[in-house]
Structure 1
Amino acid sequence: MNTISRRQFLQKSAQVTLGLLGTAGASGIYSHWIEPYWLEIKYVDITLPRLSPAFDFRIVHFSDLHQGVYSKPQALTELAQQIQQVKPDLICFTGDLLDHSADYISEAVALCSQLRAPFGQFAVLGNHDAFGTRKVVTKGLTQSGFHVLHNEHIVLTQGTDKLYIAGIDDPWVGKADIAQALLHIPEEACTILLAHEPDFADDFCKLPIDLQLSGHSHGGQVRLPFVGALYTPPHGSKYSSGLYQLPNSQLQVYTTRGIGVTRMPVRFNCRPEVTVITLHS
């Protein structure tokens, strides 16, 4: 049996400790300076049985810009370019344009003003928008060419075919009214709902909604292998990232990981995401 001296033991311990500290330091640098700005363009195919073939088209869905002290102007330029390069037919933003301060609205407006799609640009407010920057965000999005859906819907038409886009005020801290948003939409119509917090889908699953687009969770921002997200916000933990089919319902939910960060300026194993959704009838 081999034995090691006290000195050798201390040397080995020091090497292991330094290795762990080095790994932690490298992970900290990566999660703060690299991954939060390493944008992923994620392509997803979603089939909606009630969709008309006339709307087999492409939606860009993005969320949670959280423009603020942790944002980089050059990242906004890249974001705008990436969105426009995929040539979306429709653009949907699902809330939290600003992190906390209205001081950053001009940067957010400059980004959104660059985004255009043939069938339009639509948005709803998130909980951060509703905390105190509601009027500023609504005005900024409107000025930049987005139609902010406050408990209402619009109808897209191609000939005699129709697709309904509904949007509600933030379900958590706003004044959401799903009945008002869906009012007068035909029962058999295909409807896409924009709602900031994904977990409210459980309240909507018996309603005539085919697809809900949400954000809010940031995917957790930090996801560890075999563990998953270390933290998800209220109403963003059950459907925290990706596509879900609700049981005993026609409703599907897609939750994007969002663009920005909040609380902590880090992302790990959870890159910022722009989702390119191709709808299929």
Structure 2
Amino acid sequence: MTNKRMNRRAFLKYSMSAVGSLAALAGASGLYSIFGERYWIQLKTVPLAYHRYPAAFAGMRIVQFSDTHLGKYYSLDQLARVVKLVQRQKPDLICFTGDLFDSNYGQISDDVIPILSRLQAKSGKYAVLGNHDMRLDPGRVKDVLERSGFTVLVNANKSIVRGNSRLWIAGIDEMFHGKPDLPLALKGTVVDEFVLLLAHEPDFADTALKFPVDLQLSGHSHGGQIRIPFYGSLFTPDLGQKYEVGLYTFEKSEFHVYTNRGIGTTLFPIRFNCRPEITVFVLETKQP
């Protein structure tokens, strides 16, 4: 046998081995994405400070979760685990930023009410609706959330008072199927007082930036669900593409938008390099 033939056989053997290794790696990654990471919830703490944040609320713990997408790919038992994790963070305020049910593989059910009712926070729990909630039945989803103890904000606001200090929490209607009206949502708020805005779609931040809003909490994008190292997400939905994941700051402004990666999945039950998330915001007063 010539050296040339031996080299060719060695190359083919090496190539087949490499292909087999890549196939095994792809298979392992697929299994991890479907059965591993999408249930591996990350607890993330985000400290923030603002000049007009009232000192009486210093250290307030705001816990956000989003996009549970209950249905075929996310069960009530898994939701119960999320509730336990939220409660362990000792929340002063709980915010849910939409898509309780999945419109493709789920349906509205009262069975979530006793589970969500376990969530307790001294300053209350607030929610807005997401695009999947709107596709199913916004009135029905709103009713389920309210019977679970949430205040659902649709172009509306509520104040939270501690002593002589006050802050505001506002929520806008969903952007695809609703009629978001931020001036209406902020009606009655005081310009010099801190405003927390709940908006399902993060790209609403371009509008919120023009108003006296300090912090916007959003979901919707799922962080892309699949994020390739050194590249980013393969796909993000409309209105979740500009501010797709994490914290964003703006020049000459203290305004922030934070995009939570969500709990469940949509379209495909896959997460890769994009773990589901519960976020804890610890707010402080920024010194002059």
TM-score by length of 1: 0.96
SS at match of 1:280: strand
The reply to whether residue 216 of structure 1 matches residue 220 of structure 2 is: yes
The reply to whether residue 246 of structure 1 matches residue 246 of structure 2 is: no
The reply to whether residue 63 of structure 1 matches residue 66 of structure 2 is: yes
SS at match of 1:140: helix
The reply to whether residue 94 of structure 1 matches residue 94 of structure 2 is: no
The reply to whether residue 174 of structure 1 matches residue 174 of structure 2 is: no
Deviation at 1:226, TM superposition (A): 0.6
Counterpart contact for 2:99–2:133, Cα < 8 Å: yes
Q: What residue in structure 1 maps to residue 207 of structure 2?
A: 203
TM-score by length of 2: 0.94
What is the rounded CA distance, in whole Å, between the counterparts of 1:225 and 1:102 in structure 2?
31
Deviation at 1:193, TM superposition (A): 0.3
Deviation at 1:114, TM superposition (A): 1.3
What letter corresponds to residue 218 of structure 1 in structure 2?
H
Residues 197-246 of structure 1, C-alpha deviations (whole Å, 9 max, x = no match): 01111112120000000000100100010100111111111111111112
* Number of residue pairs matched by the alignment: 281
Deviation at 1:80, TM superposition (A): 1.1
Q: Give the 3 Å change call, closer, same or farther, for CA 50–18 of structure 1 in structure 2.
A: same
Counterpart contact for 1:168–1:195, Cα < 8 Å: yes
Deviation at 1:173, TM superposition (A): 2.3
Percent same amino acid at aligned positions? 47
What is the rounded CA distance, in whole Å, between the counterparts of 2:11 and 2:111 in structure 1?
56
Q: Give the 3 Å change call, closer, same or farther, for CA 139–93 of structure 1 in structure 2.
A: same
CA RMSD of aligned residues (A): 1.6
The reply to whether residue 42 of structure 1 matches residue 44 of structure 2 is: yes
What is the rounded CA distance, in whole Å, between the counterparts of 2:196 and 2:181 in structure 1?
15
Q: What residue in structure 1 maps to residue 163 of structure 2?
A: 159
The reply to whether residue 17 of structure 1 matches residue 19 of structure 2 is: yes
Deviation at 1:2, TM superposition (A): 8.9
Q: What residue in structure 1 maps to residue 81 of structure 2?
A: 78
Structure 2 unmatched runs, 5+: none
Deviation at 1:105, TM superposition (A): 2.4
Picking from 227, 232, 239, the partner of 1:235 is: 239
SS at match of 2:126: strand
